[in-house]
């Protein structure tokens, strides 16, 4: 067994062969989801500002910025695509493997790795199999690091998708660039000094930028290391290493000997979101949707909606009166009001127009959040809440929520995954091309060159 976390990661990346079939199949589901999200994110203001920034640089390259007729350097394409993939807060969420870790807040694992692999694999002319193997490797690295690091990393305000996502992107990139042992150690050390992301920026354009920077930093770290750029050879470990400085330490037992045993993709699994908002709101939203549909409720039927939850839910979802669509993604009031008003909460609901509408402003006033100390004492391994709907006729309908559709407990059907992909991709592609892209990703391992996929991912 390795004696350091850095060595464990290096050995895994250098020695592990192609993952088993069930892991590869699961990875393709997350790649489908992630590519749809990057396409949808291309319409957002933060991505368009980044595209303007990249165009000003006039950087030459062969990597596609999804949703645009633009090719640029791999690191810049990863920056834009990674930001786009996280822009709607619709990307997947790592689950906790134990009760002392924070369920749903460890990582949004797909986008930092996917954005890096898309850009670099296209630049290098990699096959679909090489693409998939690199994606799975980077995904496993970041999830195991996120599980091992002290939960204080997140509680104190770091955004794990930005900080640890850089190591996932770095690990995936190292496989495509075929780094050796020393180069890989340098790359991890470079990434350790570049990774960042703080939670104060939730509800702003900078939150999705964390994922974009993680993807870009992973590529840059590997490209520099390949050129002999040096860093500490054990930068994840020790008194001044990443895990101690940014994480107040780590539980090495969660990663030493555990890489790919089992793969996080399959155990405990990773949830695919059904709503473009903070993952912690989704069990409550699903439970309210059930109540609303079963009782055929309208706004005027409801006196008050009460959500009881612990600080792990109420603190991140802190915008009780969101001012824009970005803040709305971290607002229980908005998400639940949308479910009540429209029986859905998708990309076409999380808009300034709907937020500022008279009906939404009226509905949000009926949603009340309550800090529940009993739920808090039960731990943070589940997204626990209690949904109470008090009706005008005096009845109170109550549900206990701790999971949502898209989690391993309630996995999506293939049709659900396609419908979400179509919701996202049709912001850029027509339905015929959307279906073509979906089928191309499903057949990813058979592609001789990943450019067969990336060539389809530009605007009409």
Q: Determine if residue 269 is left, alpha or beta; phi over 0 gives left, psi from -120 to 50 gives alpha, anything else beta.
A: left
Percent of the chain clearing pLDDT 90 (strictly above): 85
Confidence class for position 426, pLDDT limits 50, 70, 90: very high
User: Quick one: pLDDT at residue 279?
Assistant: 85
Q: Residue holding tokens 């075929």?
A: 178
pLDDT of 102 > 70? The answer is no
Write the pLDDT tens digit of every residue in 52-86.
Answer: 999 999 889 999 999 999 999 999 999 999 999 99
pLDDT of 133 > 90? The answer is yes
Q: Judging by DSSP bridges, how do beta strands 367-371 and 71-72 pair with one another?
A: unpaired
Greatest Cα pair distance, the chain, in angstroms, is 72
Write the pLDDT tens digit of every residue in 265-275.
Answer: 999 999 999 99
pLDDT of 340 > 80? The answer is yes
- b/e burial code for range 309-346 (CB count within 10 A of at least 16 → b): bbebbbebbebbebeebbbbbbbbbbbbbbbbbbeebb
User: Quick one: pLDDT at residue 104?
Assistant: 56
pLDDT of 379 > 80? The answer is no
Q: Give the domains, in start order, of the chain with CATH numbers.
A: 5-274+417-454 (1.10.4100.10), 279-401 (3.30.1330.120)
Write the pLDDT tens digit of every residue in 159-181.
Answer: 999 999 999 999 999 999 999 99
pLDDT of 121 > 70? The answer is yes
**Taking a C-beta distance cutoff of 8 angstroms, is the pair 134, 175 a contact?**
yes
The dihedral built from the CA positions of residue 323, 325, 327 and 333, taken in this order, carries a sign that is positive
User: Quick one: pLDDT at residue 2?
Assistant: 58
pLDDT of 3 > 90? The answer is no
Helix (H, G, I), strand (E, B) or coil at 255: coil
Tokens of 118: 């898309």
Distance of CA 402 to the CA centre of its chain: 19
Find the DSSP H helices in 227-351: 242-245, 282-295, 311-314, 325-328, 332-342
Q: Residue holding tokens 């002290």?
A: 150
**Taking a C-beta distance cutoff of 8 angstroms, is the pair 85, 41 a contact?**
yes
- A 10 A CB-CB count for 239 gives 6
Q: Determine if residue 89 is left, alpha or beta; phi over 0 gives left, psi from -120 to 50 gives alpha, anything else beta.
A: left
Question: Mean pLDDT for the chain?
Answer: 94
Q: Which residues contact 163 (CB under 8 A, 6 or more apart)?
A: 153, 195, 196, 197, 214, 246
Run of H or E including 398: strand 396-401
Confidence class for position 208, pLDDT limits 50, 70, 90: very high
**In this predicted model, which residue has the larger pLDDT, 37 or 404?**
37
**Taking a C-beta distance cutoff of 8 angstroms, is the pair 46, 204 a contact?**
no
**In terms of pTM, does the model score above 0.85?**
yes
Write the pLDDT tens digit of every residue in 381-421.
Answer: 778 999 999 999 999 999 999 889 998 888 988 999 999 99
For helices 128-148 and 165-177, the axis angle rounded to 10 degrees is 150
pLDDT of 457 > 90? The answer is yes
Write the pLDDT tens digit of every residue in 274-323.
Answer: 999 988 899 999 999 999 999 999 999 999 999 999 998 999 899 999 99
């Amino acid at each position: 067994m390795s004696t350091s976390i850095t060595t464990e990661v290096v050995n895994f990346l250098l020695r592990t062969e192609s993952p088993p079939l069930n892991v590869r199949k699961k990875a393709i589901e997350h790649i489908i989801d992630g590519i749809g999200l990057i396409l949808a994110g291309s319409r957002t203001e933060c991505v368009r500002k980044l595209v303007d920034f990249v165009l000003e640089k006039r950087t030459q390259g062969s990597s596609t910025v999804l949703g645009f007729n633009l090719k640029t350097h791999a690191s810049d394409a990863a920056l834009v695509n990674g930001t786009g993939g996280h822009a709607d807060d619709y990307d997947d969420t790592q689950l906790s493997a134990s009760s002392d870790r924070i369920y749903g807040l460890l990582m949004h694992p797909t986008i930092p790795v996917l954005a890096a692999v898309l850009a670099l694999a296209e630049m290098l002319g990699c096959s679909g199999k090489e693409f998939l193997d690199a994606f799975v490797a980077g995904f496993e690295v970041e999830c195991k690091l996120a599980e091992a690091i002290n939960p204080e990393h997140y509680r104190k305000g770091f955004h794990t998708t930005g900080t640890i996502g850089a190591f996932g992107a770095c690990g995936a990139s190292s496989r495509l660039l075929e780094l050796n042992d020393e180069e890989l150690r340098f790359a991890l050390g470079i990434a350790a000094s570049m990774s960042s992301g703080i939670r104060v920026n939730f509800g702003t354009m900078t939150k999705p930028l964390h994922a974009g920077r993680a993807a870009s930093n992973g590529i840059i770290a590997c490209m520099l290391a390949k050129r002999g750029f040096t860093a500490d050879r054990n930068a994840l470990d020790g008194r001044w290493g990443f895990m101690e400085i940014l994480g107040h330490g780590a539980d090495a037992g969660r990663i030493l000997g555990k890489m790919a045993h089992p793969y996080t993709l399959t155990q405990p699994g990773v949830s695919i979101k059904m709503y473009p908002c903070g993952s912690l709101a989704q069990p409550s939203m699903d439970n309210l949707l059930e109540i609303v549909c079963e009782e055929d409720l309208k706004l005027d039927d409801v006196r008050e909606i009460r959500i009881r939850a612990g600080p792990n839910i109420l603190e991140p979802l802190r915008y009780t009166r969101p001012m824009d669509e970005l803040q709305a993604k971290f607002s229980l009031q908005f998400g639940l009001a949308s479910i009540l008003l429209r029986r859905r909460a998708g990309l076409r609901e999380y808009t300034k127009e709907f937020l500022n509408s008279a009906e939404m402003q009226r509905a949000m006033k009926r949603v009340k959040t309550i800090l529940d100390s009993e739920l808090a004492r039960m731990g943070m391994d589940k997204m626990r809440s209690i949904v109470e709907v008090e009706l005008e006729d005096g009845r109170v309908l109550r549900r206990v929520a701790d999971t949502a559709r898209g989690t391993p407990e309630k996995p999506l059907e293939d049709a659900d995954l396609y419908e979400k992909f179509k919701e996202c991709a049709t912001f850029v592609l027509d339905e015929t091309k959307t279906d073509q892209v979906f089928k191309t990703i499903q057949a990813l391992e058979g592609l001789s060159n990943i450019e067969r996929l990336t060539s389809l991912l530009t605007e009409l």
